[in-house]
Structure 1
Amino acid sequence: MGVQKPMVLVAGAGAGLGQSLLSRFADGGFEPVGLGRSAPDAPVGQFHTVDLSDETSAPDILAKIIAENGPPRVVIHNTAELVIAPFMQTDLDDYRRTWDSMVQSAVLLAQATIQPMIDAGGGSFIVSGATASLRGGAKFSAFASAKFALRGLTQSLAREFQPAGVHVCHAILDGIIDTARARALHSLDPTKMMTPADIAETYWQIAHQPKSTWTHELDLRPASEGF
């Protein structure tokens, strides 16, 4: 019987960044396990269809995945729910939907995975943020308020669990990620967009930082992006 590979668990493993993350870690010898509400075409590694904001089903699904694959070495929270609308046209359901997708899902994911990582000797918990994690823009009140909350959650997790060996990092993705959908929506020059494989490489490096130099927060953007 062979040695079990360390697991990388990516929540929000859709086409684009999610699949690039799984591919990069698989290339590095990890067992890639993706989570999402719907599976992309030809997913990398295992894929489990799950609504991570569902407190009745998500914990059981996560526990089963850990029982079958062992404790994760790396967990990446990459879910998003983008709502762009004038404040007066943004209702409470929009706020609940963004919060559930990005914050409640992170709470449930962390509750299911951090203690197993600690018991196994440590690991990394990386969260994908956005420009809206730092700055609320017009028509982004729902999205930004949830991203602000997610950033605060990761700060609390880092301060509580870093001494126990879990590296918690919040990555601010300040730009548009290059996907087929993004190209269709924005008509941007791809050289001015964020390449998913390049973001994945940075996440790989974060997950392998020595304990004497852990990054809690970093920002990534194309060279052409204003900030």
Structure 2
Amino acid sequence: MAEQKTLALVAGAGAGLGQALVSRFQAEGMVTVGLGRTQPDNPIGSFHQVDLSDPGETAPVIADLIATYGPPKIVVHNTAELVISPFLKTTLNDYQRSWTSMVQTLIVLAQSVMQPMVRGGGGTLIVSGATASLRGGAQFSAFASAKFALRGLTQSLAREFQPVGVHITHVTLDGIIDTARSRDRHSLDPAKMMKPEDIAEVYWQLAQQPRSTWTQELDLRPSTEGF
């Protein structure tokens, strides 16, 4: 095995929050690896292009990284598949696509990292949620149903693995993240949007919490966002 360095994995390391997380963890000297189906332009650090819903693709990549660097100390699940459609026009495939992108990917990711993290003395798994994790809006039935399931899965993982040393937390991102794509889509004042680097800072802080004060669920929103 090569000389051990602290490993962080970001599943869903696309432009915006994903790349901000990679940058933040790298700034702390961690070996940070991005995982995802689509590689962003000019990715920060190392990126492995994999279908995160496919254990046959994902598990071997993660196993190789663990063999090289040891079990990860931070793992972030940050995948999403946004479907906005009236219920009667939302197809079964839309639901399956949403569930596969968000819930199945966490199952595959967690089954790849949980045992190594436990054996390695613990770590932190952070799952990115959304407003739809708590409230199902009109035309968001596919997205909300998957996000609700993702939140429930995260709670189950926390109750099973926190007693053996893995901190598992769900973060509800109640707002629009400031990216070039979201600015084009929503035409919002950037001051009213969530800065990726600020979210990444909170994720880093969550990973540093002492065992006597672990957060299982956290909600973040801009100061101007109603709730």
How many angstroms apart in 2 are the aligned matches of 1:92 and 1:61? 31
Letter in 2 for 1:202: V
Q: CA deviation at 1:68?
A: 2.4
Moved more, 72-81 or 56-65: 56-65
Name the residue aligned to 2:137.
Answer: 137
| Residue ranges of structure 1 left out of the alignment (5+ in a row) | none
Letter in 2 for 1:124: T
SS in structure 1 opposite 2:73? strand
Deviations 1:104-154 (A, max 9, x none): 000000000011011110000000000000000000000000000000000
Q: CA deviation at 1:54?
A: 1.4
In the TM superposition, structure 1's runs of 4+ consecutive aligned residues that sit over 6 Å from their partners are none
Contact 2:4 2:68 in 1 (8 A): no
Moved more, 199-208 or 47-56: 47-56
TM-score by length of 2: 0.98
Q: CA deviation at 1:2?
A: 8.7
Whether 1:35 and 2:35 are equivalent positions in the alignment is: yes
Name the residue aligned to 1:147.
Answer: 147
How many angstroms apart in 2 are the aligned matches of 1:154 and 1:182? 27
Contact 1:125 1:166 in 2 (8 A): yes
Contact 1:72 1:113 in 2 (8 A): yes
How many angstroms apart in 2 are the aligned matches of 1:2 and 1:101? 33
SS in structure 1 opposite 2:55? coil
Moved more, 32-41 or 206-215: 32-41
How many angstroms apart in 2 are the aligned matches of 1:2 and 1:52? 26
Letter in 2 for 1:141: S
Aligned CA RMSD, in angstroms, stands at: 1.2
Q: CA deviation at 1:65?
A: 2.2
Q: Percent identity between the aligned chains?
A: 68
Contact 2:173 2:221 in 1 (8 A): yes
TM-score by length of 1: 0.98
| Residue ranges of structure 2 left out of the alignment (5+ in a row) | none
How many angstroms apart in 2 are the aligned matches of 1:86 and 1:53? 26
Name the residue aligned to 1:225.
Answer: 225
Q: CA deviation at 1:52?
A: 0.4
How many angstroms apart in 1 are the aligned matches of 2:22 and 2:40? 12
SS in structure 2 opposite 1:56? helix
How many angstroms apart in 2 are the aligned matches of 1:144 and 1:74? 26
Q: CA deviation at 1:39?
A: 1.1
How many angstroms apart in 1 are the aligned matches of 2:56 and 2:35? 16
Whether 1:180 and 2:160 are equivalent positions in the alignment is: no
